[in-house]
Amino acid sequence: MMQNEILALIPRYLPMGIIIYDKEGKLKYLNAVALDMFGTTIEKVYNINLFDDPNIGHHDKAKLKQWQDISFETDYDFDRCRQFYDSEFVHTHKYFVTKITIMRDEHDQPQGYLLNCEDVTQKKAQQQQLLDSYKRVELMQRELALALDAGMLTSWDYQISTGKLSKFTGSPQGDEQWSFESIRDRVHPHDRNAFLGLLDLVAHGQHPSQSNLELRVRNINNEEYRHYNFVYNVREDENGNPAGITFIQRDITEDVIYRENLIRAKNRAEEADKLKSTFLASMSHEIRTPLNSIVGFSQLLSDANDADEKREYKRLIDINSEILLKLIGDILDLSKIEAGSIDILRKPLNLNHLTNELYQSFKQRLTSPNVTMRLVDPYAHCVAQMDMHRFIQVFTNFVTNAIKYTPQGEIVMGYECSPGRVRLYVRDTGIGIPDKKRERIFGRFEKLDDFAQGTGLGLSICKAIADVTGAEIGFSSQENVGSEFWFIVHTQVDYTLKSAPGDTDKDPVVVAPEAKMHKHQVKDLNILVAEDNDSNYLLLKTILKDNNLTRAINGAEAVEKAKTQTFDIIFMDMKMPVMNGLEATALIRQFTTTPIVALTANAFNADRDEALAAGCNHFMTKPVNVDELMELLSGL
């Protein structure tokens, strides 16, 4: 083929429409692509005039007339061109990009128009699709931002390759970028390992087992840490390898505070419940202990003939009645305080007289010969505006405690005045209060010492009195050295010092009664009585006077005695110092089958079960029923 002929083939194979018009604008040539594009034949379009083409605007036509090149994009409506030429396309639109170039000869003279035309309909549709998708994504982003905002959520994305975190904003300006370090430093030091561990795991291509993380994170503006819950999802690349993590962050600070408050309230309620139960059990024990003596000695009293004997029983009944009354008084006081209605009646009170009277009566209560008591009263005259009942109550509680917790040494009671204030105090050389128990001392129902008689109410009543009257209460104490309890009343006071201020009295009082008789016929039994309370032991000793009684004052002593001596029966009090009755029973059971009778003021079924489980054969509650006791012994 000749070179020119080859060249003539080019328009046929060009991937675009080629149309040639002569210089008058008459169509002279269309290549095959152009025929396909316009759906026509050469016969139908031959000689149609370029300037009749309705798709070319006036402006462009003017340019063509002045032999200028033009290019334009047309939304080509075939129906509109029906007048211009005949096409097979009906109701059809296409997009064409057209360029019209002026063809010139070697003298630069225009010879015609070359029109090349590209069908961009498909490209245009794809572009539109892309545009629609982009708009949809934009809308979704805006909706997502709104939803996150409404749910007070934040979305983060961690990208492994860059090590950066981006915070989703939903704004067209794009997301906020954060360096990994700036975020890490805001995570609470205690939670940092969990956070770093997760990123590390994912960076090493592994999938975490959980999808949830709770972290404390510091706010950017201040030092406050807030609690956040992060739900996360590992993002993968096209090869299925972890590429990053998407986090949804929710502020749960309020939830955490609420949760913590609930737990605290639950613990408080449980604690209060426990205290109430302990208080009830302790109350039952405390009531039954003096009641045991009252009932027991009353029974003996009715059988007694001897006048001395009767007097002794009556004295013991009186002492225990007083204890019982005090207890009931305490309970009543407590319920009044709880109801917020304790009466305070301030009247001129002669402290000089009152403290001396109290001292005389307190002296009588000393139970140990190793303890002395004195009053420090440096005033010849002292009158203060005070509530007498409350004054006595506080002093009595302090002194009663001092007597209870001072096995030897001295108890000093006294008061000091200065303008506008009276300070009363009780100092002892007793067992003192261990540091770890200090803060509980004024707590309601708190008995730091399980075996000592008391309800755990005395000091809390004093504290309540202080609170209600605007007084102050406190103590200083050293374990095994002693304690001083004080109470300061802010009030008007009138006083004159004695010329030679001095202490009074040193007068230990000991209770050691001996009782004698009983009508029952049980005789000559060897009985071990483990009992720390003197009155209770005395009662048993009196009831069982025809038998050989050995006393142990605590569980450990009972075990020791049961090991070295032989007994027919053992009476075991459950609540004792050093070692309680349950422990002692369990130990004794390891080496002897001697019957053990649990004798206790704890009357609950649980106590009975515990005692029997520890190895007791019988369980008797105080107050002791003499007949029941005798029946038990006569059956031995």
Residues near ligand ADP (CB under 6 A): 397, 401-402, 405, 428, 430-433, 441, 446-449, 454-460, 483
Shortest distance, CB of residue 289 to ligand ADP, whole angstroms?
Answer: 13
Q: How far is the CB of 578 from ligand ADP (least distance, A)?
A: 16
Place of tokens 């075939």: 78
Return the beta strands (E) in 314-471 as ranges: 347-350, 371-376, 379-386, 409-418, 421-428
Show the tokens assigned to 35: 């025929």
Q: What distances in angstroms separate CA 415 from CA 355, 373, 376, 379, 432, one per listed residue? A: 8, 15, 7, 9, 21
Min dist. Cβ of residue 395 to ligand ADP (A): 13
Nearest distance, CB of residue 424 and ligand ADP, angstroms: 14
* Structure tokens that stand for 302 in this block: 């009715």
Backbone torsions φ then ψ of 392, nearest 5 degrees: -65, -40
Say how far apart CA 11 and CA 13 lie, in whole Å. Answer: 5
Q: Which is nearer to ligand ADP, 112 or 458 (CB)?
A: 458
Strands (E), 140-211: 153-159, 164-167, 176-179
| Complex with ligand ADP: residue 112 or 456, whichever CB lies closer | 456
Return the number of other C-beta atoms located less than 10 Å from residue 231's C-beta: 14
Q: At closest approach, how far in Å is the CB of 598 from ligand ADP?
A: 23
Which is nearer to ligand ADP, 405 or 415 (by Cβ)? Answer: 405
- What CA–CA distances, in Å, run from 330 to 285, 336, 602, 631? 15, 10, 20, 37
In angstroms, give the least distance from the CB of 399 to ligand ADP: 9
Helix (H) / strand (E) element for 542: namely helix 534-543
Residue nearest to ligand ADP (CB): 454
Q: Which is nearer to ligand ADP, 329 or 378 (CB)?
A: 329
Of residues 216 and 404, the one with the C-beta less far from ligand ADP: 404
C-alpha torsion 572→575→580→582, nearest 10: 60
CA angle 157, 162, 163 (to 5 degrees): 65
Burial state string for 372-404 with b = 16 or more CB within 10 A and e = fewer than 16: bbbbbbbbeebbbebbeebbbbbbbbbbbbbbb
> Are 432 and 406 contacting, i.e. CB atoms less than 8 angstroms apart?
no
Instruction: Give whichever of 402 and 570 is closer to ligand ADP, judged by the CB atom.
Output: 402
- Which residue, 244 or 456, is less far from ligand ADP as judged by CB? 456
Q: Minimal distance in Å, beta carbon 320 to ligand ADP?
A: 16
Which tokens go with 11?
Answer: 């328009």
Nearer to ligand ADP, 39 or 409 (CB): 409
End-to-end CA distance of the chain: 143
Nearer to ligand ADP, 390 or 447 (CB): 447
How far apart are CB 274 and ligand ADP at their closest, in Å? 17
Give least dist CB 415 to ligand ADP, A: 17
